[in-house]
């Protein structure tokens, strides 16, 4: 019965959204009670000059700044340990995550590891930590992951090649600075894949085993925003209107799934495929989502029909027809922004499918799927997406 499952919407990070808001970074550092800041970012972003500009402004405000710029896509326990060592050497500071989901995920792990003993998987979110994480300030430079809204990060364990979740309740960002100007330089392909990730967050949150009206309302609006503005931003990366809509929509998709719905099998598969082939998270999701939605169609026809309307499909005679239109709209949007349509295009060979299916089933995110999938059902989705 509705109401039997408690809904708790916990305090989220303070959000500062708007063009130019990154100028307030020094204010955020003071707000969290720090006088020093440690950036966690990646080399590609350093080449854009964004971290240097932000660090320069902080130094002018009298804040001492350290930088770790060796975050990689699909980060591993080695990345996490390197970042933690660099932070321990620098000493206590506000941890400033500047970048996409990978930088934010590593920053959460490093903020915990920087003040606790251990390495790698010791920082699995299920382990308690004696000391609370250093304060985190998140400055996203992509519009997709929503990673700034939760206290978990996806890390690959190099020893087992499995993904696990680093995290701790104290590793939730204190302040999120969402400045669309920082996303203007993102290339078209990364704009497309991160935007499709945000759409996947909305769709998996809508269809989750335990949906709630807060997440449903937010996720439907996120889907409408992404479908409206993603093609515009992919076509013209300098369109600030599109960049602004996408920045806020991707953040709100994270707010939706952080309200307790979580995600689902799509993310279980995406984590497993990226671990196996290094494929881009949002591109795997784009190839898998239409097939996954089809496999859940009978269970989630009503909400998918509402999703279809949000994605611009015409009102349908039945919820089944409307849901079908939603599936087509998702596939069409992915194609329009140039995402690869199959897993084969992303390096998935037949010999990998069994291991991917097992890893997807074992991933905790899969527990939020509308119903517990069987191995055969996961294989069927993978086969359809090949
Ligand atoms: Zn995602």
Provide DSSP, 97-145: EEESHHHHHHHHHHHHHTTSS--GGGGBTTS--SSPPPPEEEEE-SSS-
How far is ligand 1, taken at its centre, from the CA of residue 58, in Å? 31
The pLDDT, as a whole number, for residue 317 is 86
How far is ligand 1, taken at its centre, from the CA of residue 327, in Å? 18
The pLDDT, as a whole number, for residue 298 is 95
For residues 39 and 273, the answer to whether their CB atoms sit within 8 Å is no
How far is ligand 1, taken at its centre, from the CA of residue 272, in Å? 12
For residues 65 and 39, the answer to whether their CB atoms sit within 8 Å is yes
* Distance, CA of 280 to CA of 264 (rounded, Å): 18
How far is ligand 1, taken at its centre, from the CA of residue 280, in Å? 10
What letter does residue 236 receive in the DSSP assignment?
Answer: -
- pTM of the predicted structure, to 2 decimals: 0.95
How far is ligand 1, taken at its centre, from the CA of residue 36, in Å? 31
How far is ligand 1, taken at its centre, from the CA of residue 164, in Å? 14
How far is ligand 1, taken at its centre, from the CA of residue 107, in Å? 17
| CA-to-CA separations, 95 to 27, 40, 133, in angstroms, rounded | 14, 7, 9
- Classify each residue of 47-84 as buried b or exposed e, where b means 16 or more C-beta atoms within 10 Å of its C-beta: eeebbbebbebbeeeebebbbbbbbebbbbbebbbbbb
| CA-to-CA separations, 371 to 2, 269, 286, in angstroms, rounded | 17, 15, 21
How far is ligand 1, taken at its centre, from the CA of residue 258, in Å? 12
Please state the separation of Cα 306 from the chain's center in Å. Answer: 23
How far is ligand 1, taken at its centre, from the CA of residue 369, in Å? 14
How far is ligand 1, taken at its centre, from the CA of residue 202, in Å? 10
How far is ligand 1, taken at its centre, from the CA of residue 145, in Å? 5
How far is ligand 1, taken at its centre, from the CA of residue 278, in Å? 15
- What domains sit in the chain, N to C, each tagged with a CATH number? 14-182 (3.40.50.1970), 187-385 (1.20.1090.10)
Provide block-wise average pLDDT over 10 residues at a time, the chain (386 residues). Answer: 85 92 98 98 96 97 98 95 98 97 97 96 95 98 95 93 92 97 96 98 97 97 98 98 98 95 97 94 98 96 97 90 97 98 96 97 96 96 97
The three-state secondary structure class of 377 is helix
How far is ligand 1, taken at its centre, from the CA of residue 276, in Å? 17
The pLDDT, as a whole number, for residue 10 is 79
How far is ligand 1, taken at its centre, from the CA of residue 50, in Å? 24
Q: Please count the other Cβ atoms lying within 10 Å of the Cβ belonging to residue 371.
A: 10
How far is ligand 1, taken at its centre, from the CA of residue 146, in Å? 8
How far is ligand 1, taken at its centre, from the CA of residue 285, in Å? 8
């Amino acid at each position: 019965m509705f109401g039997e499952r408690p809904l708790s919407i916990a305090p989220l990070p303070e959000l500062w959204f708007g063009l130019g808001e990154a100028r307030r970074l020094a204010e955020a550092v003071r707000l969290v009670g720090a006088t020093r800041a440690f950036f966690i970012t990646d080399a590609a972003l350093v080449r854009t000059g964004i971290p240097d500009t932000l660090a320069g402004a902080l130094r002018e405000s009298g804040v001492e700044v350290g930088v770790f710029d060796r975050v990689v896509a699909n980060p591993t326990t080695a990345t996490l340990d390197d970042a933690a060592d660099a932070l321990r050497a620098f000493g206590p500071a506000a941890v400033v995550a500047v970048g996409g989901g990978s930088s934010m995920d590593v920053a959460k792990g490093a903020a915990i590891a920087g003040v606790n003993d251990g390495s790698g998987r010791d920082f699995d979110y299920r382990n308690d930590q004696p000391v609370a994480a250093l304060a985190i300030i998140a400055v996203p430079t992509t519009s997709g992951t929503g990673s700034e809204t939760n206290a978990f990060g996806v890390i690959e364990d190099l020893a087992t090649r499995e993904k696990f979740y680093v995290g701790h309740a104290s590793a939730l960002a204190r302040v999120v600075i969402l400045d669309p100007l920082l996303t203007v330089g993102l290339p078209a392909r990364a704009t497309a894949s991160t935007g499709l990730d945000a759409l996947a967050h909305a769709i998996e949150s809508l269809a989750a085993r335990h949906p709630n009206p807060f997440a449903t309302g937010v996720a439907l609006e996120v889907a409408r925003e992404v479908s409206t503005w993603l093609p515009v931003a992919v076509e013209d990366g300098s369109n600030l209107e599109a960049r602004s809509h996408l920045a806020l929509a991707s953040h709100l998709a994270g707010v939706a799934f952080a309200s307790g719905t979580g995600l689902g099998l799509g993310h279980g598969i995406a984590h497993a495929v990226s671990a196996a082939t290094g494929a881009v998270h949002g591109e795997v999701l784009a190839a898998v989502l239409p097939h996954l939605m089809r496999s859940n169609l009978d269970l989630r026809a009503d909400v998918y029909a509402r999703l279809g309307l949000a994605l611009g499909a015409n009102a349908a005679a039945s919820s089944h027809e409307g849901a079908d239109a939603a599936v087509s709209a998702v596939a069409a949007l992915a194609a329009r922004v140039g995402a690869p349509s199959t897993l084969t295009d992303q390096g998935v060979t037949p010999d990998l499918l069994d291991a991917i299916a097992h890893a997807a089933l074992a991933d905790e995110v899969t527990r939020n799927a509308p119903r517990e999938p069987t191995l055969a059902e996961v294989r069927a989705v993978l086969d359809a997406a090949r």
